Each structure stands twice: as C-alpha cells, then as structure tokens.
Amino acid sequence: MKPISLTNKKQDEKDKEKQACLMGSGEVPAHIAIIMDGNGRWAKSRGNIRSFGHKAGVDSVRDITEACAQIGVRYLTLYAFSTENWRRPQTEVNALMRLLVRSLRKEAENLNENNIKLVTIGQIGRFPATCQQELKEAMELTKNNDRLHLCLALSYSGRWDITEAVKKLTQQAKEGKLNPEEINDQLISAHLSTAEIPDPDLIIRTSGEYRISNFLLWQLAYSELYITETYWPDFRRDELYKAIQAYQKRERRFGKVFDNNTHKKKADSYVQELTS
Ligand code: FPP
C-alpha cells in the first residue's frame, strides 16, 4: 500500500503510537459522519471574515481524511454544504464554491495516490458548472479506489434524501412495479442517496451545538453521537482519536437488552485492570 502523503508534514512516531493504541483498544468505526461546524466563529474569534474560517476548515478536512485512512475507517461522510446553506450571503456561497473547486484541483491526485474514492450525496446539479466538472473529474479519477470512501454531502439534507426516496418508490408503485405492501426499512434505505454506503457508526458534530441540522436523518437511527466544543478548523486528528475513544467505550445495543455475557466480560476485564 502506498504511504499516505496528503500532508507534507512528516508523520511523527507519536502519532503512529497513538494510532496503534486506538486500533488495539477496540473497534474503529467503519463509517464516521461529521457535521463540520464553527468555521465562522473560529474566524470571528480571530477578527477575520467567515471565509477565512472555511479556508482553515479545509486543512482539517485533509488531516481528518488522512487519519481516517490510516486507522482503517472505510467511510467518511462530511457535511460540506447543506440545502439550507444556499440561504447564506451570496459572497459567502461564492467563496465556498471557489474553495471547493480549488481544493478538488489540489487534492484529487493525492486522494487517488492514496487509494481514496471520492463520492458525493446531494443535489450536485444545483452547483455551478465548474464545481460540477471538477467533482466529476475527481470522482472519475478515483472511482476504482477502495481504501476509504470520502463522501461529500453537498447541497444535501436528510429530508430531501427521504423525499426523493419516497418519490422513487411511489413512482414504481404507480407503474405497477412495486406493491406498497413490500415497502420496508431495507427498501427505503436502498432508495436513499446513501444506498451504497453503510449507516454511520459515529456522528461527530463540532462547535458544541446539540443539533442534527437535517443531516443523515434516516441513516442515523443507531449511530453514536459525539459532540465537541472544538470549532471545525481546530478539529484535527487528536480530536478525532478522542471521539473514537469515546465511541469505543459505548455499548451499542441497537434497541436490544443488555447481554449478560457482555456485562460479565466487561466486569472481568475491569477487575483484571484493577488487579494487574
Ligand atoms: C460550518 O461552519 C461549515 C460550513 C457550512 C462549510 C464547511 C466547509 C468547509 C470546511 C470547506 C470546504 C470543504 C471541502 C470538503 C473542500 P459555519 O460557517 O456554520 O460556522 P459558524 O457556525 O461558526 O457560523
């Protein structure tokens, strides 16, 4: 496997140790989804304009993508632009579009060299032609990669996603191709924009807001949530490791009752830890 080189900085030994420790201490989530929030406030706290925060946010995107690939996360979904974000001032929307184009031009080759596949969910057709073209090229270039799926949610909202799935299913029913009685969880999941992606195991939100903000509404049914006060431009790999450590301590029950064996195993390992 080619070494990761998304950043120029030499990966220090300490980081490798932290990663080994994380991978050895429990399950690494297969799919992490992130609500990247706080760019504006980060910039404001430095007396700068909001776009400055978005620019710094791209460095976090790079660092988190690199770290996820290194520790074996298979899917990383980033809420980069929500349907509601179109209501922001035109200057900010334009700056975000320019940043997206510039980042794709700069990083597409790196993603490819590191076996990372770029995919998108959302209404890409609403984006300017240059953005669509750049996305198309980057996705084409990386389409055969399989180390990490980097999924950008662009002009995305959970309600839009569910509405589109409902439209597709009702159309099939109207054409007599689907009996409404056959509609179930799996069929709905298969008609969402995330049909090819497993549901997220861990959802991270930065900047201390306790909201889902119309993100993966259907898909998050059993996701673990992790909220940090840290603004997105300051959310780097060490913060990611903290979130994963918190995830590893959670008991995922998927609605079932606590299994006594799991209880016992946990208690045994706790006693072992205390006595060793
Ligand atoms: C939220 O912060 C962030 C966004 C709406 C955009 C996120 C975009 C990037 C990190 C850069 C582009 C991404 C890629 C994938 C190249 P906010 O503006 O809502 O901050 P605030 O809550 O402090 O106002």
pLDDT tens digits for 111-156? Answer: 999 999 999 999 999 999 999 999 999 999 999 999 999 999 999 9
Q: How many Å lie between the centroid of ligand 1 and the Cα of residue 38? A: 7
Q: Is residue 272 part of a domain?
A: no
If you average pLDDT over residues 186-195, what whole number do you get?
98
Using 50, 70 and 90 to split pLDDT, how confident is the model at 44?
very high
CB 200 within 8 A of CB 223: yes
Q: Is residue 92 part of a domain?
A: yes
What per-residue confidence (pLDDT) applies to 130? 96
Q: Is residue 9 part of a domain?
A: no
Q: Is residue 148 part of a domain?
A: yes
Q: How many Å lie between the centroid of ligand 1 and the Cα of residue 56? A: 9
* Residue of 8, 12, 48, 85 with catalytic role: 85
Look at the chain and report how many structural domains it folds into.
1
What per-residue confidence (pLDDT) applies to 253? 83
If you average pLDDT over residues 25-42, what whole number do you get?
98
Q: Is residue 182 part of a domain?
A: no
Q: How many Å lie between the centroid of ligand 1 and the Cα of residue 114? A: 25
What per-residue confidence (pLDDT) applies to 271? 42
Active site residue 110: no
Q: How many Å lie between the centroid of ligand 1 and the Cα of residue 134? A: 19
Does pLDDT of 205 surpass 90? yes
Using 50, 70 and 90 to split pLDDT, how confident is the model at 24?
very high
Q: Which of 34, 35, 37 to mutate to test the pocket of ligand 1 (most atoms within 8 A of CB)?
A: 37
| Mean confidence (pLDDT) of the chain | 92
Active site residue 37: yes
Q: Is residue 85 part of a domain?
A: yes
Name the pTM for this structure: 0.90
If you average pLDDT over residues 96-102, what whole number do you get?
97
d(CA 40, CA 57): 10
Q: Which of 39, 211, 229 to mutate to test the pocket of ligand 1 (most atoms within 8 A of CB)?
A: 39
Q: Is residue 258 part of a domain?
A: no
Task: Print the SS3 string covering the chain.
Answer: CCCCCCCCCCCCHHHHHHHHHHHHCCCCCCEEEEECCCHHHHHHCCCCCHHHHHHHHHHHHHHHHHHHHHHCCCEEEEEEEEHHHHHCCHHHHHHHHHHHHHHHHHHHHHHHHCCEEEEEECCHHHCCHHHHHHHHHHHHHHCCCCCEEEEEEEEECHHHHHHHHHHHHHHHHHCCCCCHHHCCHHHHHHCCCCCCCCCCCEEEECCCCCCCCCCCCCCCCCCEEEECCCCHHHCCHHHHHHHHHHHHHCCCCCCCCCCHHHHHHHHHHHHHHHHC
Q: Is residue 38 part of a domain?
A: yes
Using 50, 70 and 90 to split pLDDT, how confident is the model at 11?
low
Q: Which domain holds residue 52?
A: 28-157+199-247
What per-residue confidence (pLDDT) applies to 10? 59
Q: In CATH, what number is assigned to the domain containing residue 231?
A: 3.40.1180.10
